[in-house]
Amino acid sequence: MIEKEKLLEVKGLDVFYGDLQAVKEVNMEVKKGEMVALIGANGVGKSTILQAIMGLNKPKSGSVIWKGQDITGIQTNKIARLGLTMTPEGSHIFEDMSVYENLLLGAYPKHAKARRAESLALVYKTFPVLKEKEKQTATFLSGGQRQMLAIARAMMANPELIICDEISLGLAPVIIKDIYASLHEINKNGVSFLLVEQETKRALKHSDYAYVIVHGEVVLEGRSSALSEEQIAQVYFGVEQSGEGGAD
C-alpha cells in the first residue's frame, strides 16, 4: 500500500496554562483523506491541542507541521489561509449576520474566494436546509443547523483539512447521525477531518484512526477498527470496566 501524504503533524507538543500543563508531549498526524478522532473525557486537553494547531494558544514546546511547513505559533488568520480550518466548540457562527453572509465570510481566503460559487453550490447540496434559510439571521437557527452552518462555513474555505471540536455536543442523536453522514460525504471529496469527540463509540465508528487522550497525553492510538471500547475504557479509568458501554 502506498503511504498517503501527511497533511498535519504534531510533534512533542507541550501546552501550559500558567503552571498547569494541559498538553504533554503529544505526537499525532493526519494523512490526506483520513478521518482522525481525538477521544477523551471532558477537560483532558483535546480542545487545547486543536487550539494549538490553529494558533489560538501558544505551545511551550513542540511543533505543528502543515504539509511540511512549520506553522507553530503563527497567527491564526495566517494558518486559516493555508488550507486548514476549524469549527470551534459551540459553533461560533456570526450570530447577527445572515446564513449567506456567514458563508461568504467562510470564503475569505483568496484561493477560496476564487471558487466561491462552486463551494456555495456544494454547500447547498450537502446542507439543503441552509439554502432554505439563506436570508435568515444565524442566531435564529436550531442547534443542529448552527453546527451545519459552522461546517458549511468551513467548507467555503475550500480546505484540505477541517478540524471539528465537539460538533455533536448537545444535539439530538438523529441530528448527530445526519451531521456525521454529511462529514463522510465531504470526506469523499478528499477533505480530511480531525474530530474531537467525547463519545468513544461514535468516534471509533466515524474515524479511520484514533488517538486516546488522558490528562493531556496520548495513551493509546491505532486504527479505529482495531481499537475496542473496552480497551479505551481501560486506559480511561486505569482499571478494567465491565459491561458499561457508551450511549448510542
Partner 1 sequence: MLQAVITGLLLGGLYALIGVGLSLIFGIVKITNIAHGDLMIVATFFIMVILNHLIGNIYIALLITIVVMAIIGFLIQKFLINKVIDQGAETAMLVMFGLSIAIKNALTLIFGAGNNALPSPVKGTNFIKTDLVSISGQYAVNFIVAVVLIVGLSILMDKTPLGRSIRAASSDTMAAELMGINTKTMYVWAMAITMAATAVAGMLVGQTYSFFPYTGTQFLIIAFGVVVIGGMGSIFGTLVGGAILGLAQMIAAYLLGTAYQTLAGYIILLILLTVRPQGLLSKRMRK
**Closest by CA position to 159, among listed 124, 126, 193, 131:** 193
User: What does the DSSP assignment read for 79-109?
Assistant: HTTTTEEEE-TT----TTSBHHHHHHHHT-S
Report if residue 56 touches partner 1, rule: CB under 8 A. Answer: yes
Report if residue 88 touches partner 1, rule: CB under 8 A. Answer: yes
The residue (of 101 and 221) whose beta carbon lies closer to partner 1 is 101
All cell numbers assigned to 135? 436570508
CB of 239 to partner 1, least distance (A): 38
Binding segment toward partner 1, per CB under 8 A, in 82-90, 119-127, 210-218, 235-243: 82-90
Helix (H, G, I), strand (E, B) or coil at 53: helix
Report if residue 96 touches partner 1, rule: CB under 8 A. Answer: yes
Q: Which of 74, 105, 129, 171 binds partner 1 (CB under 8 A)?
A: 105
Report if residue 97 touches partner 1, rule: CB under 8 A. Answer: yes
Strands 6-17 and 61-66: antiparallel
Report if residue 109 touches partner 1, rule: CB under 8 A. Answer: yes
Q: Which of 80, 141, 149, 195 binds partner 1 (CB under 8 A)?
A: 80
Q: Which helix (H) or strand (E) holds 39?
A: strand 35-39
CB of 69 to partner 1, least distance (A): 16
Report if residue 95 touches partner 1, rule: CB under 8 A. Answer: yes
Order across the sheet with 217-223: list the strands: 84-87, 161-165, 192-197, 35-39, 209-214, 217-223
CB of 50 to partner 1, least distance (A): 11
Report if residue 24 touches partner 1, rule: CB under 8 A. Answer: no
CB of 77 to partner 1, least distance (A): 4
Cell numbers 479511520: residue: 208
**Site for partner 1 (CB under 8 A): how many residues?**
26
Report if residue 85 touches partner 1, rule: CB under 8 A. Answer: yes
Q: For the chain, give the longest Cα–Cα distance.
A: 54
Report if residue 219 touches partner 1, rule: CB under 8 A. Answer: no
Report if residue 143 touches partner 1, rule: CB under 8 A. Answer: no
CB-based burial label for 223 (10 Å; 0-12, 13-18, 19+): exposed
Report if residue 16 touches partner 1, rule: CB under 8 A. Answer: no
CA distances to 78, 122, 194 from 109, rounded to whole Å, are 9, 18, 21
The residue (of 98 and 224) whose beta carbon lies closer to partner 1 is 98
Report if residue 76 touches partner 1, rule: CB under 8 A. Answer: yes
CA distances to 42, 83, 152 from 197, rounded to whole Å, are 10, 22, 19
Give the footprint of partner 1 on this chain (CB under 8 A): 54, 56, 75-78, 80-81, 85-86, 88, 92-97, 101, 104-106, 108-109, 112, 153, 157
